[in-house]
Amino acid sequence: MKEHWNDVYESTEVKTLGWYEDKPTLCLQLLAKCDIEKSDPVLDVGAGASTFIDCLLDEEYTNIIATDISEMALNKLKERLGVRKASEVKWIVDDIAKPAYVCKLENIAVWHDRAVLHFLLEKDQIQTYFSTLKKIVRNDGYVLIAAFSLKGAKKCSGLDVKNYDSNMLTENLGEEFHLIEPLNHDHRMPSGDIRPYIYTLFQRQR
């Protein structure tokens, strides 16, 4: 998987990637609903070279953690940000389905994942994803997950995906996580094609 994603980011201009967004408007709208301080830890899981991190910096979040299985993706993001802005972000290369570092984080206020969970196909990978999330997201913390919806694409970047609805995410997260907002959204790819997503925001309340 690491090789696959490194190849993708090495061979493709970021702005032409199917999942690219000039501005991650929906995620920013959902983030704005989270009652957190700008200094609270926000974790972007499978950040890729997404503009979400640029926007967090612009909005003066000061405790940003970007993780991805692909160092190539994170390097592209660092290059775009430039040395000064990149130094304000904590960078972690890790596999979220088999984490060595992310699982050691604590008190995460916001877990943000756009278009990553749906690439995990094996039961144990999905279990590890959710057990890591439950270990590191603080009580009262938020979980923002955007995945291909049930009527969405069955493949992305040449890989099979698992499609989700808000009930499936609720079930995986368990009773402690309360669904604040489910949103259906059609993402228009740079090619003009449409990819239906389900966006969800949960809050943990033990």
DSSP single-letter state for residue 110? E
Contacting residue, 73, 147, 169, 173, with ligand SAM by CB under 6 A: 73
Interface with ligand SAM (CB under 6 A), residue from 61, 91, 111, 119: 119
42-45/64-68 β-pairing: parallel
Separation CA 20–CA 14 (nearest Å)? 7
Least CB distance from residue 174 to ligand SAM, whole Å?
A: 21
- Check binding of 19 to ligand SAM (CB under 6 A): yes
- Which residues, including other chains, have CB under 8 Å from residue 48's CB and lie 6 or more apart? 9, 17, 19, 68, 70, 73, 77
Q: Does 115 bind ligand SAM (CB under 6 A)?
A: yes
- 147: Cβ contacts below 8 Å, ≥ 6 apart: 113, 115, 117, 118, 163, 164, 169, 197, 198
Tell me how far apart the alpha carbons of residues 179 and 177 are, in angstroms, rounded to a whole number: 7
Query: Is residue 48 a contact point for ligand SAM (CB under 6 A)?
Result: yes
**Which of 33-41, 53-61, 108-116, 186-194 is the region at the interface with ligand SAM (rule: CB under 6 A)?**
108-116
Binding flag, residue 40, ligand SAM (CB under 6 A): no
| Binder among 31, 68, 133, 203 for ligand SAM (CB under 6 A) | 68
> Under the criterion CB under 6 A, does residue 114 sit at the interface with ligand SAM?
yes
Of 171, 42, 60, nearest to 111 by C-alpha is 42
5 near ligand SAM (CB under 6 A): yes
- Which one, 89 or 97, has the nearer CB to ligand SAM? 97
Structure tokens at 33: 């609903």
Q: Which one among 34, 97, 109, 169 touches ligand SAM, defined by CB under 6 A?
A: 97
The number of beta carbons lying within 10 Å of the beta carbon of residue 51 is: 20
Tell me how far, at minimum, the Cβ of 205 lies from ligand SAM, in Å.
26
Q: Which residues bind ligand SAM (CB under 6 A)?
A: 1, 5, 19, 46-48, 50, 68-70, 73, 95-97, 114-116, 119
